[in-house]
Amino acid sequence: MMMSVTENPNKRLKELADGVAEQIKKKKNPDVKLPIRTLSNTYFDEKSGLVRLGDKVSHRTYLNIAHTRKFMQTLMVASECKKIIDQNVTTSIRDLYYALKRTIPGTNENTVEDQSESDPIIEDLEAALDTLRERLHLQADRKGYIAGPLVVNDSGDKIDATKMGSSGWAIPSNVEPEMIKFEKCTADYVLVIEKDAVWQRLNQDKFWRDHNCLILTGKGQPARGCRRIINRLHNEMKLPVYVLTDADAWGYYIYSVIKQGSINLSFLSDRLGTPEAKFIGLTTQDVDKYDIPKNVTIKLNKGDIRRANEMMKYVWFKPKEWQHELRHMLKVNHKLELEALSSKGIKFITEKYLPRKIEEKDFLP
Amino acid sequence: MPENNGKIGTEIAPVGAREISISEFFEKNRHLLGYDNGIKALLIIVKEGVDNALDATEETRILPDVYVKVEELEKEKYKIIIKDNGPGIKKNQIPKIFGTLLYGSKFHRLRQSRGQQGLGISCAVLYSQLTTGEPTEVVSSTGDGKTHRYKLKIDVKKNQPMILEDNVIEGKDWHGLQMTFICEGTYREHKQSVLEYIKQTAISNPYANIIFDAPTGRFEFKRGVDKLPKEPKEIKPHLYGVEVGILHRMLKDTKARSLGGFLTSEFSRIGKTVAKELLKKAEIVDDKGEPFMMISPRKLTDSQVVSLVRAVKETKLMRPPTDCLSPLGMELIEEGMKKELNPEFVTAVTRPPAVYRGWPFQIEVGIAYAGSIDEPKFMRFANRVPLLYQSGSCAITKSISKTDWKRYGIQSEKMPTDPMAIFVHMASVWVPFTSESKEAIASYSIIIKEIKLALQEAARKLSIYLSGIRKAQYQAERKSIFERYAHETAVAISELTGRNADEIEADINELVKKNIKIMELSEQAKERIEKRTKTSIDEVSGKQEENAEPEEGEGESEEEKGD
């Protein structure tokens, strides 16, 4: 079920500020109610397969020294958003940070010291107002590329993702339907690749043409635009989604964020998560299955071991296949990078590994 | 002078006085009375003079004006003048009081006063004449228009006054006493000096005006309050404090004809029933085995006296009356410390009276904190007289070091190390000094217990004040945070709602004011806090985190790096 999203958050912004103003007028300690966006207030919804936000709410109040500064920042961000919405322009979250930054009179303190202070406030407002960053006319840096048989209309420009050369089409920050419309898509599935270098290898080999698919990379942990377009391709174009990452805890976690959504943005899981996504590889079990030389594996370090143990406890890694893989990783005590497949020849990944995986439906859930 | 109560002329009055020839003894043993060295000699002479001046004025309910001068005549030779506005001394008493050792009224009566033995002032005369050969000059008037001026010495062999000059000056209308001593000594201004003695005297006698002309210049100690402490009453001795020797003497001297009469009239809190009970226990009985109340006091045998003293120890007697005590009271202690020490905070405690060996006593404690005080200072007083020597063997010092100061948030290494002055006063009709030089109070356990209780109570009050300051600091810090963000918050709300930003800002500031009550801090407290802000701000910010709601910070740290 899709969360209802406020189309024009201007009204909500004003309501929020009016509420605060009324409290102040009545000499009451003003507060802003914000959904708590931490692990303690997220749960895994087995039915939808998504990480969801619980209903715990925190009160950000003015007369609490731990909150006062953030309270001010919340209203400042809200006010700045209203301004840019009114002007019907879109700015980057970095622009917003600079628009807010000034020295508080009589102090050597700034209203915001760096962007890491303003970014979470934007997320707080999104969650509090049931809206999206994009609706607040904010965008982040682009990150992620796509190539394959897909034609989109990007604010009036028609873009054919088969004709984007070696770089592919850069996925914008805002990929909501009013910005990006899918005009034509003949692909059979979407292959999401953790690493840009591997994506380039696949693009060079025109893997997407030979296998009639879209190849997409988020360059590490994918940004919101990237996750949203995967979600839309799956939901609107009905494409299966396969994810290819390193065989290590970090890679598996990237997969889980694409699939179930993240804790921090759990209020957006409906839009950002793709529960039907499948994990195609790599796994540590592939080493035996595909006869990958042992000498290209990497020994687990302390952090890898700790992280793998933690992940075994996460609800969304509870399926027996994942438990088996994680245990196997700990047992053989090594991890594997995507590039390690090149030890079997430069085209091993495109000509042997991926086709066999897809043919045998050798996926992890 | 309305407060005289017609008592003018009674200074060092000769009620029941006796003469004891000990002048020669003193000549050879002057250290026993404290005349160990030149520095101490000057201190003791000034102290005896000032103590007498204060006793005399208080007894006649006069607000004391005391003038002291120490003038260097030549190397190690000084002239000391002490002058008061007391009742003066009657002409015929002057030679006896100044020219006879152990002549005095105070030894034989039980009333709280500074002097006790009638030894001090005549010793000063004797010391002067022994060291410089000079006589002591005494000028006195009882307010009858006649001023008597004596120059006298002591006949050491006979313990009698030797009058060198005696004249009367007519027509000068005043009352009081002026003494001039010329003696050997050394003048210093360290911790155990004339100056320190006068400073502390000004604290424990805030109703006195004291001017001190020192060789180094004039020091003025202005009167802080126009109120004398309540007048102490004389009492009879209590049997618990009476030992065999004293009882012997009293039995010999009494005017009572019967033992029963002796016990009920010469001691406090002894009625017929108790007297009978005592005699029965002491087995002083007549033929029929009844308590022998009618026996003549002089006919008691030595062993009967011993059994009587033993019987007293086995009998529960009513405590002595305590109206003989005149504590300073919290108000006077606080006033005295305030005016001389200029502290940031001062508090005082007066304990209820207690009894040691049959003697009533009362403990008072004052604590003055920070302000102009920059190091710990411990002041001991017995009947308002500062004790400057032998602090190590004094019950007061022992009690301070046995108190757990850290419990009250006060830094200490046995003795407190924070910048604070501790004032401890023992008021009693008979202060148990460890020696004749009256420098340290003996460590009876009940006395130590009382001092400790008073110290604890005062320390508790100080710790409440200090935690109040800490709270105030914390509140001030909170207020400044709330005020800091008011403007930007108001502007943002105004932009969002179209309301007036100035009004919103004013409302926020009012809201803050309404919600934060800050204890008004004194300028001194503010100054002290500023000096140590670094540490206290750390404390406050530590608290902030405790107060913070678990709004965020539990989340997975590596998420959303992609944005």
For residue B115, the model assigns a pLDDT of 65
CATH code of residue B56: 3.30.565.10
Cα B313 from Cα B355, distance rounded (Å): 14
Cα B332 from Cα B203, distance rounded (Å): 9
- Annotated active-site residue A314? The verdict is no
For residue B140, the model assigns a pLDDT of 94
CA distance B505 to chain A (A): 9
Cα A249 from Cα B258, distance rounded (Å): 108
Distances (CA, A) of B169 to B82, B94, B119, B146, B478: 19, 15, 29, 6, 73
Backbone angles phi, psi at B157, to 5 degrees: -65, -45
CB contact residues (below 8 A), chain A span 265-304, against chain B: 265
Q: Chain B contact for A119, CB < 8 A?
A: yes
CATH code of residue B386: 3.30.230.10
Percent of chain B having pLDDT more than 90? 51
- Candidates B488, B512, B548; nearest CB to A72: B488
Q: Are B260 and B272 in contact (CB under 8 A)?
A: yes
Query: Is residue B17 one of the residues assigned to a domain?
Result: no
Q: Which of residues B549 and B223 earns the better pLDDT score?
A: B223
Q: Chain B contact for A94, CB < 8 A?
A: no
B390 and B437 in a common domain: yes
Query: Is residue B439 one of the residues assigned to a domain?
Result: yes
Interchain pair A262, B560: CB under 8 A:
yes
Rg of chain A, C-alpha, whole Å: 23
pLDDT digits (tens, 9 = 90+) for A160-172: 999 999 999 999 9
- Candidates B487, B553, B559; nearest CB to A262: B559
Mean pLDDT, residues A269-297 taken together: 91
Query: Is residue B83 one of the residues assigned to a domain?
Result: yes
Percent of chain B having pLDDT more than 70? 87
Chain B CB contacts of A79 below 8 Å? 491-493, 495-496
Cα B329 from Cα B357, distance rounded (Å): 24
Cα B427 from Cα B380, distance rounded (Å): 11
User: Which of A15, A20, A63 has the highest number of chain B CBs within 10 A, making it the mutation to test binding with B?
Assistant: A63
| Confidence class for position B320, pLDDT limits 50, 70, 90 | confident
Query: Is residue B270 one of the residues assigned to a domain?
Result: yes
Cα B514 from Cα A210, distance rounded (Å): 73
| Confidence class for position B158, pLDDT limits 50, 70, 90 | confident
For residue B98, the model assigns a pLDDT of 87
Which residue bears the tokens 């006879």? Answer: B100
pLDDT digits (tens, 9 = 90+) for B35-85: 888 899 999 999 999 999 998 999 899 999 999 999 999 999 999 999 999
Number of H helices, E strands in chain A: 14, 17
CA distance A112 to chain B (A): 11
Chain A CB contacts of B550 below 8 Å? 38, 40, 58
pLDDT digits (tens, 9 = 90+) for A303-327: 999 999 998 988 888 899 999 999 9
Interchain pair B562, A221: CB under 8 A:
yes
Cα B32 from Cα B28, distance rounded (Å): 10
Chain B CB contacts of A75 below 8 Å? 489, 492-493, 496
B335 and B308 in a common domain: no
Chain B CB contacts of A62 below 8 Å? 482, 485, 489, 508, 511
Q: How many interface pairs between A and B have CB atoms less than 8 angstroms apart?
A: 149
B71 and B171 in a common domain: yes
Is pLDDT at B16 greater than 50 in this prediction?
no
Cα B442 from Cα B389, distance rounded (Å): 13
Backbone angles phi, psi at B372, to 5 degrees: -80, -5
Chain B CB contacts of A120 below 8 Å? 552
Mean pLDDT, residues B179-193 taken together: 92
Mean pLDDT (chain A, rounded): 90
B244 and B131 in a common domain: no
CA nearest neighbour of B11 among B151, B140, B194, B154: B140
User: Which of B482, B495, B496, B546 has the highest number of chain A CBs within 10 A, making it the mutation to test binding with A?
Assistant: B496
Domain end call among B382, B416, B447: B447
Q: Which of A43, A97, A98, A242 is catalytic?
A: A98
The pairing of strands B160-170 and A57-61 is: unpaired
B84 and B181 in a common domain: yes
For residue B17, the model assigns a pLDDT of 46
Q: Chain B contact for A261, CB < 8 A?
A: no
B469 and B392 in a common domain: no
- Candidates B489, B496, B514; nearest CB to A72: B489
Is pLDDT at B139 greater than 60 in this prediction?
yes
Query: Is residue B459 one of the residues assigned to a domain?
Result: no
For residue B210, the model assigns a pLDDT of 97
Q: Nearest chain A residue to B488 by CA: give it.
A: A72
CA distance B463 to chain A (A): 26
For the ranges A2-11, B37-46, B175-184, B389-398, which has the lowest average pLDDT? A2-11
Query: Which structure tokens are listed for A290?
Result: 């595909």
Mean pLDDT, residues B523-527 taken together: 79
CA distance A353 to chain B (A): 28
CATH code of residue B275: 1.10.8.50
Q: Which of residues A103 and A281 earns the better pLDDT score?
A: A103
Interchain pair A60, B481: CB under 8 A:
no
Three-class DSSP labels, A321-363: HHHHHHHHHHHHCEEECHHHHHHHCCCHHHHHHHHHHHHCCCC
Chain A CB contacts of B480 below 8 Å? none
Q: Chain B contact for A56, CB < 8 A?
A: no
Query: Is residue B28 one of the residues assigned to a domain?
Result: yes
CB contact residues (below 8 A), chain A span 192-231, against chain B: 218-224, 226
Element (H, E) at B161: strand B160-170
Q: Are A204 and A347 in contact (CB under 8 A)?
A: no
B194 and B115 in a common domain: yes
B290 and B263 in a common domain: yes
Q: How many CB atoms lie within 10 A of CB B453?
A: 18
Is pLDDT at B185 greater than 90 in this prediction?
yes
Query: Is residue B229 one of the residues assigned to a domain?
Result: no
Query: Which structure tokens are listed for B350?
Result: 């007066």
Mean pLDDT (chain B, rounded): 84
Report chain B residues touching chain A, CB-CB < 8 A. 477-478, 481-482, 484-485, 487-489, 491-493, 495-497, 499, 504, 507-508, 510-512, 514-515, 544-545, 547-556, 558-563
Q: Give the bridge partners for B70, in sequence order.
A: B80
Residues constituting chain A: 365
Is pLDDT at B541 greater than 50 in this prediction?
no
Element (H, E) at B364: strand B359-369
Cα A160 from Cα A173, distance rounded (Å): 18
For residue B104, the model assigns a pLDDT of 56
For the ranges A21-30, B207-216, B481-490, B528-537, which has the lowest average pLDDT? B528-537
pLDDT digits (tens, 9 = 90+) for A162-215: 999 999 999 998 898 888 999 999 999 999 999 999 999 899 989 999 999 999
User: How many Å is the maximal CA-CA distance in chain A?
Assistant: 74
pLDDT digits (tens, 9 = 90+) for B402-461: 999 999 989 999 899 999 999 999 999 889 998 877 889 999 999 999 999 999 999 999
Interchain pair B496, A13: CB under 8 A:
yes
| Confidence class for position A1, pLDDT limits 50, 70, 90 | very low
Is pLDDT at B151 greater than 70 in this prediction?
yes
Q: Nearest chain B residue to A133 by CA: give it.
A: B563
User: Which of B489, B504, B512 has the highest number of chain A CBs within 10 A, making it the mutation to test binding with A?
Assistant: B489
For residue B21, the model assigns a pLDDT of 54
Query: Is residue B260 one of the residues assigned to a domain?
Result: yes
pLDDT digits (tens, 9 = 90+) for B366-417: 999 999 998 999 999 999 999 998 999 999 999 999 999 999 989 999 899 9
B174 and B58 in a common domain: yes
Percent of chain A having pLDDT more than 70? 98
pLDDT digits (tens, 9 = 90+) for B225-280: 998 988 888 888 888 888 888 888 888 888 889 999 999 988 888 888 999 999 99
DSSP-based three-state secondary structure for B491: helix
Interchain pair B495, A82: CB under 8 A:
yes
ipTM: 0.78
Q: Which of residues B480 and B218 earns the better pLDDT score?
A: B218
Q: Which domain holds residue B85?
A: 22-221
Question: Based on the structure, what is the number of domains in chain B?
Answer: 4
For the ranges B103-112, B229-238, B290-299, B375-384, which has the lowest average pLDDT? B103-112
Is pLDDT at B536 greater than 50 in this prediction?
no
CA distance A69 to chain B (A): 7
Q: Chain B contact for A108, CB < 8 A?
A: no
Mean pLDDT, residues B11-15 taken together: 47
Residues constituting chain B: 563
Burial class (CB in 10 A: 0-12, 13-18, 19+), A8: exposed
B116 and B82 in a common domain: yes
| Confidence class for position B29, pLDDT limits 50, 70, 90 | confident
Domain end call among B171, B195, B221: B221
Domain end call among B278, B313, B348: B313
B204 and B71 in a common domain: yes
Mean pLDDT, residues B497-510 taken together: 93
B351 and B382 in a common domain: yes
The pairing of strands A278-281 and A241-244 is: parallel
Q: Nearest chain B residue to A56 by CA: give it.
A: B551
For residue B542, the model assigns a pLDDT of 42
Q: Nearest chain A residue to B551 by CA: give it.
A: A58
Q: Nearest chain A residue to B545 by CA: give it.
A: A66
CA distance B525 to chain A (A): 24
Interchain pair A257, B493: CB under 8 A:
no
